[in-house]
Amino acid sequence: MNAKASSTAAVTPLERRGQPAAAPAVAHAQMANAIRALAMDAVEQAKSGHPGLPMGAADVATVLFTQFLKFDPADPAWPDRDRFVLSAGHGSMLIYALLYLTGYEAVTLDEIKRFRQLGSITAGHPERGHAPGIETTTGPLGQGIANAVGMAIAERHMAAVFGESIVDHKTYVLASDGDLMEGISQEAIALAGHLKLNKLIVLFDDNGISIDGALSLSDSTDQVKRFEASGWAASRVDGHDPAAIAAALEKAQTSDRPVMIACKTTIGFGAPTKAGKSSSHGSPLGADEIKGARAALGWNYAPFEFPADILSAWREAGARSQSAHAGWNTKLAALDTAKRAEFTRRMKGELPAKALADAVRAVKESLAATPKEIATRTACEFALESLIPALPEMIGGSADLTGSNNTRTKSMKAMSAADFSGRFIHYGIREHGMAAAMNGMTLHGGIIPYSGTFLVFSDYCRPSIRLAALMGERVIHIMTHDSIGLGEDGPTHQPVEHLAALRAIPNLLVFRPCDAVETVECWQLALEAKNRPSVLALTRQNLPQLSPITLDSNRCAAGAYEIAAAEGKAQVSIFATGSEVVVAVEGKKLLAAKGIAARVVSIPCFELLLEAPQAARRALIGDAPVKIGVEAAVRQGWDAIIGSDGIFVGMNSFGASAPFKELYKKFGITAEAIAEAAMKKLS
Ligand X SMILES: Cc1ncc(C[n+]2csc(CCOP(=O)(O)OP(=O)(O)O)c2C)c(N)n1
Residue closer to ligand X by CB (options 176, 519) is 176
Least Å distance, CB 470 to ligand X, is 14
Residue closer to ligand X by CB (options 281, 364) is 281
Least Å distance, CB 183 to ligand X, is 10
CA distance 337 to 332: 9
Half-sphere exposure of 129 (CA within 13 A, CB side): 11
Residue closer to ligand X by CB (options 92, 534) is 92
Q: Does the annotation count 350 as an active-site position?
A: no
Query: If we measure between CA atoms, which residue out of 261, 256, 254, 278 comes closest to residue 224?
Result: 261
- Paired residues of 222 in beta bridges: none
Query: If we measure between CA atoms, which residue out of 208, 203, 180 comes closest to residue 267?
Result: 208
SS3 659: coil
Sign of CA dihedral 225, 226, 230, 236: negative
Least Å distance, CB 184 to ligand X, is 9
Residue 447 is inside which H or E element, if any?
none
CA 400 vs CA 378, 393, 404, 526: distances in Å: 17, 22, 9, 23
SS3 75: coil
Asked if residue 270 binds ligand X (CB under 6 A), the reply is no
Q: Among the candidate windows 136-144, 242-250, 575-583, 641-649, which touches ligand X by CB under 6 A?
A: 136-144
Least Å distance, CB 55 to ligand X, is 10
CA distance 471 to 130: 10
Phi, psi of 554 (to 5 degrees): -115, 105
Among 67, 122, 176, 519, binds ligand X (CB under 6 A): 176
CA distance 603 to 606: 6
Least Å distance, CB 126 to ligand X, is 12
Among 24, 79, 139, 578, binds ligand X (CB under 6 A): 139
Q: How many CB atoms are located within 10 Å of the residue 95 CB?
A: 25
Least Å distance, CB 222 to ligand X, is 16
Angle formed at CA 468 by CA 616 and CA 70, multiple of 5 degrees: 135
Residue closer to ligand X by CB (options 92, 524) is 92
Residues within window 477-496 making contact with ligand X, judged by CB under 6 A: none
213-214 and 233-238: which strand pairing? unpaired
Asked if residue 279 binds ligand X (CB under 6 A), the reply is no
Q: Among the candidate windows 105-113, 173-181, 295-303, 496-504, which touches ligand X by CB under 6 A?
A: 173-181
Among 36, 199, 240, 281, binds ligand X (CB under 6 A): 281
Least Å distance, CB 463 to ligand X, is 7
CA distance 44 to 335: 50
Residues within window 89-128 making contact with ligand X, judged by CB under 6 A: 90-91
Least Å distance, CB 483 to ligand X, is 30
Calculate the CA 191 to chain-centre distance.
16
- Residues recorded for the chain: 683
Residue closer to ligand X by CB (options 43, 526) is 43
Q: How many CB atoms are located within 10 Å of the residue 623 CB?
A: 10
Residue closer to ligand X by CB (options 139, 449) is 139
Phi, psi of 174 (to 5 degrees): -105, 115
How would DSSP label each residue in 338-384?
Answer: HHHHHHHHHHHT---HHHHHHHHHHHHHHHHHS---EEHHHHHHHHH
Q: Among the candidate windows 64-72, 171-179, 190-198, 373-381, which touches ligand X by CB under 6 A?
A: 171-179
Which residues contact residue 680 at a Cβ distance below 8 angstroms, ignoring those fewer than 6 apart? none
Taking residues 584 to 603 in sequence order and writing x for each that binds ligand X by CB under 6 A, - otherwise, the string is --------------------
Are the CB atoms for 230 and 202 separated by under 8 Å?
no
Among 38, 267, 293, 576, binds ligand X (CB under 6 A): 267
Least Å distance, CB 209 to ligand X, is 5
Q: Among the candidate windows 39-47, 135-143, 186-194, 441-449, which touches ligand X by CB under 6 A?
A: 135-143
Half-sphere exposure of 198 (CA within 13 A, CB side): 12
Q: Among the candidate windows 137-145, 223-231, 319-327, 502-510, which touches ligand X by CB under 6 A?
A: 137-145
Least Å distance, CB 267 to ligand X, is 5
Among 127, 177, 187, 580, binds ligand X (CB under 6 A): 177
Asked if residue 141 binds ligand X (CB under 6 A), the reply is yes
Q: In this structure, which amino acid lies at residue 650? A: G
Q: Among the candidate windows 157-165, 176-184, 331-339, 358-366, which touches ligand X by CB under 6 A?
A: 176-184
Phi, psi of 596 (to 5 degrees): -105, 125
Residue closer to ligand X by CB (options 174, 677) is 174
Least Å distance, CB 215 to ligand X, is 7
Asked if residue 25 binds ligand X (CB under 6 A), the reply is no
Question: Rounded to 10 degrees, what is the CA torsion of 548, 554, 555, 560?
Answer: 140
Residues within window 198-217 making contact with ligand X, judged by CB under 6 A: 205, 207, 209-211
Residues within window 298-317 making contact with ligand X, judged by CB under 6 A: none
CA distance 533 to 463: 13
3-class SS letters over 145-166:
HHHHHHHHHHHHHHHHHHCCCC
CA distance 624 to 91: 55
- Binding footprint of ligand X, residue count (CB under 6 A): 20
- Residue in 44, 111, 381, 431 annotated catalytic: 431
Residue closer to ligand X by CB (options 90, 426) is 90
Among 59, 72, 182, 482, binds ligand X (CB under 6 A): 182
Asked if residue 178 binds ligand X (CB under 6 A), the reply is yes
Residues within window 61-90 making contact with ligand X, judged by CB under 6 A: 88, 90
Least Å distance, CB 182 to ligand X, is 6
Residues within window 42-61 making contact with ligand X, judged by CB under 6 A: 50, 52-53
Taking residues 332 to 361 in sequence order and writing x for each that binds ligand X by CB under 6 A, - otherwise, the string is ------------------------------
How would DSSP label each residue in 418-439?
Answer: S-TT-SEEE--S-HHHHHHHHH
Residue closer to ligand X by CB (options 35, 632) is 35
Phi, psi of 22 (to 5 degrees): -60, 140
Residue closer to ligand X by CB (options 30, 464) is 464
Question: Which amino acids are annotated catalytic?
Answer: 431
Q: Residues interacting with ligand X, by CB under 6 A?
A: 50, 52-53, 88, 90-91, 139-141, 176-178, 182, 205, 207, 209-211, 267, 281
